[in-house]
Structure 1
Amino acid sequence: MIIIVAIVTIGLISRVSASKQLRSWTSEQAIPVVAVITPGMQENTTSLDLPGRLQPYSRAILYARVNGYLKSWKADIGTQVKAGQLLAEIETPDLDQQLLQAKADLASSEATASLAKTTAERWEALLNSGYVSKQAAAEKTGDFMTKQALVNAARANVNGLQVLKSFARIVAPFDGLITARLTDIGALINSGSGTGQELFEVSSTTILRVYVNVPQVYVPDISPGTKVTIAVPEHPDKTYTAAVVASAQAVNNVSGATQIQIQIDNARRELLPGGFANVNFRLPNNRPTMSVPASALIFNKAGLSVATIGLDDRVVLKPVMIMRDLGKLVELSAGLKPDDRIIENPPDGISNGDRVRINSISSRN
């Protein structure tokens, strides 16, 4: 009997012990296993890649100053032209008639003024002889001055129409390249840049400007003279060196960026104005920035944070601030220390004080 009781007792004790071990093992298995890394430290320079747009150093859209019909054009797209070179001529029948009328009016005014001058001189001579009154002589002199003023007005009208007639010749305003021709022979031409048709576009392309919108945080590090490297899709194996020449010195309230102007030599005309360019800035890194994988970030109602592990293997959530998103990596400007142990892929619902088990540790991300 005693043996049976002993066997039963030993069996019960074994079951209780096994049950405790099972509960302990189950609890242990419920603790999430995590991979731990430490923040990656920035280099002493920051590589900043931004999109830019190539623009001509000088660009002019040419309009007509006179109405008429296009008589001929002398330069097509892709033509290199010199300042003052004839690009097109406009037939101006209406203006020609106005100029003829103005010249006739001038001739008439000059004849009338000549007669008035002769009359005034004769009356002055008669005044000296005492045959006419001073009043009559003064009236003739005044009439001559009036006629002379009409001559001056008619001459100014002729000169103005002649200047306007000179705009029937469309010429290049500077040395450059014809990048657009928007008219053809016989086309009706209307004057003015508001309602008139664009005739030609002339661009100076030996030097190009590159405009880049730089995020506000990097603006203090970019000053005139900063060197940049430019790459374009049409020459994937080449890069071009250029320099910053100006800054807008203001932040756009929509984009939150400042426009930077870069100047690049294009004497070989390899770069196309209007094209896309990738602009690389190598900037000094004076800020204590660290990087973590994007998978380590936690977004919840409390904001943006990173899960770190304390000395007792319990979770500590630390708020962080993103400085730059590089895709797989995110640079942080605040929130972490270099020796923090960061959970690389935190489980869903993780919170402060949760226990975790460390699977592996890497000294850098």
Structure 2
Amino acid sequence: MSQTPPSRQSSSRISRGGAIVFVIVVLVIAAVVAMAGIFPRLRARTKLQDATNALAAPSVLVAKPQQGKPTEELVLPGNVFPYVDSPIYARTNGYLRKWYFDIGARVKKGQLLAEIESPEVDQQLAQAKADLLTAQTNAKYAQTTSTRYHDLLKSNAVSQQDTENFNTQASATSTQVQSALANVQRLEQLVSFEKIYAPFDGILTARNVDTGQLIDSGATKELFHLSAEQTLRVYVNVPQVYSVACKPGLAAQLTVPEYPGRKFPGKIVRTSKAIDPASRTLLVEVDVDNRAGDLVTGAYAQVHFKLSSPQPSLIIPVPALIFRAEGLQVATVVDGKAKLVPITIGRDDGRVVEVTQGLQPDDEVIQDPPDSVIDGEAVNVVRPQQQGPQTSQQQKGDE
């Protein structure tokens, strides 16, 4: 057998080694070319995904809650009433002879307002007085006879039966005198009702009768209406959330449209001490000094209260509230994600609410959260001092 020369074996090995190197070089070049095309696409896809996520996340405006004031002014509507308000009726029948005061007149207690003519009652009184005199005469005669028989009985000049009869007659006539006297007093009272007097100091706000008009006793026809306006009662319905702070002695101020810029001082004197189940309010009475006569009854007024907050509170706008089945909540932002927090509110004036539990002063509250916001959802944060939205990724990049 023939053997291959060493020189040929060496050249053959070299040619195979070169081919392997060539293949490796080609593979490396192909890998580099492939990677050079894939990496930009991956980066572009990542950027596209980030941009899509950023655009998909809702943009929300956040702000920290404001500290509640230690005192708060509460303004509520009130109705002005006189301190004493009384309709005046007749207690006897007749015709109005004369009236002495018209509407708007200030009268004192005991002043004569009007007179009624009641001739029937006058005649009944005269008859009752005559009956009283007759009864007194009969009683005096019966008492004298009874005394005489009692003395004669000691000497057995009269019988015991006759003496007892005259004693009984004396007692009966004495009772008749008391009855006749009571009838006279009753009619004297009716005659006194012919004159109408003012029961207290006040102003006549109505006069419903005139001279010669037929007057019927009872509450069928109001003659006058008298109001005491030196002190006015102002009734205010205070919402339940403020009821604890509205206690007797609390100062208040009254404003009315006819006196712009002027305030009338007053104070709470009493409350109903019960919440109305229909309106969930507490009826409060504020007394206002009106000796100057500037205020009138029946007016509409605004009552201003200075209420002290029982505990520190935070104030947020009403649109920040979220009403769901889980209860009242607000949405805060933590690390670029929404976090739903249950809260307890106190006072609510329709524009802002007082949060008593659930929030901290440094919490960032979403001012007008979307209805679809959920716990843990990524959001684009917008703060009042910023010009545009800032994503959580951009925040990390800025850091």
TM-score by length of 2: 0.79
Q: Which residue of 2 aligns with 1:266?
A: 290
Residue 84 of structure 1 corresponds to 110
Q: Cα distance 1:9–1:40, how it changes in 2: closer, same or farther (>3 A)?
A: closer
Maintained 8 Å contact 1:320/1:334: yes
- Opposite residue 49 of structure 1, the aligned amino acid is V
Contact kept? 2:54, 2:380, Cα under 8 Å: no
Q: 1:314 aligns with which of 337, 340, 347?
A: 337
The amino acid that maps onto 1:332 is: V
1:274 deviates by 2.5
CA displacement at 1:145 relative to structure 2: 2.3
Aligned-pair distance for 1:98?
3.0
Residue 26 (1) aligns with residue 52 (2): yes
Indicate the residue corresponding to 1:36 in structure 2.
Answer: 62
* Structure 1 SS opposite 2:81: strand
Say whether 1:64 aligns with 2:100. no
Instruction: Check if 1:336 corresponds to 2:367.
Output: no
Separation in 2 of the partners of 1:188 and 1:181?
A: 15
Larger Rg: 2
Output the CA distance in 2 between the equivalents of 1:252 and 1:17. Answer: 67
Could you say if the C-alpha distance between residues 110 and 220 of structure 1 is closer, same or farther in structure 2, counting changes exceeding 3 Å?
Answer: same
Using the alignment, how far apart are the partners of 1:9 and 1:225 within structure 2? 85
Alignment match, 2:268? 244
Percent identity of paired positions between Structure 1 and Structure 2:
41
Find the partner of 1:232 among 253, 256, 274: 256
- Which of 214, 226, 232 is the matching residue for 1:208? 232
After superposition, the Cα gap between the structure-2 partners of 1:287 and 1:150, relative to the gap in structure 1 and judged at 3 Å, is same
CA contact (8 A) 1:45 1:282 kept: yes
5 Å-filtered alignment, 1:93-108, equals 93-108=119-134
3-state SS, counterpart of residue 295 of structure 1: helix
Q: TM-score, normalised by structure 1?
A: 0.86
Partners of 1:254 and 1:208 lie apart in 2 by: 26
Tell me if the contact between 2:241 and 2:347 (Cα under 8 Å) persists in the aligned partners: no
SS where residue 198 of structure 1 aligns? strand
- Among 127, 135, 140, the alignment partner of 1:109 is 135
Shift of residue 179 of structure 1? 1.9
C-alpha root-mean-square deviation of aligned residues, in Å? 2.8
Deviation larger for 23-32 or 337-346 = 23-32
Q: How many residues align?
A: 355
Q: State the Cα distance separating 1:85 from its structure 2 match.
A: 0.5
- What are the ranges of 5 or more consecutive residues in structure 1 without an aligned counterpart? 1-5
Supply the distance in 1 between the matched residues of 2:103 and 2:135 (Cα, whole angstroms).
48
What are the Cα deviations for residues 125-163 of structure 1, in whole angstroms up to 9, with x where unaligned? 654564322321231232122112112211111111101
What's 2:209 paired with?
183
Aligned equivalents of 1:38, 1:225: Cα separation in 2: 37
Q: Distance in 2 between matches of 1:118 and 1:140?
A: 9
Q: Is the 8 A contact 2:328 2:344 kept in 1?
A: yes
1:167 partnered with 2:193 = yes
The answer to whether the 8 A contact 1:36-1:362 is kept is no
The answer to whether the 8 Å contact 2:82/2:228 transfers is yes
The alpha carbon displacement at 1:62 in A equals 1.7
Uncovered stretches (5+) of structure 2, i.e. residues with no partner: 1-31, 387-399
Alignment-derived partner of residue 359 in structure 1: 382
Following the alignment from structure 1 to structure 2, what is the Cα–Cα distance between the partners of residues 346 and 134?
111
Residue by residue over 1:304-337, the C-alpha shift from the partner in whole angstroms, topping out at 9 and shown as x without a partner, is 2111111x21111112223122232222222211
Q: Which residue does the alignment assign to 2:280?
A: 256
**C-alpha distance in 2 between matches for 1:203 and 1:210:** 14
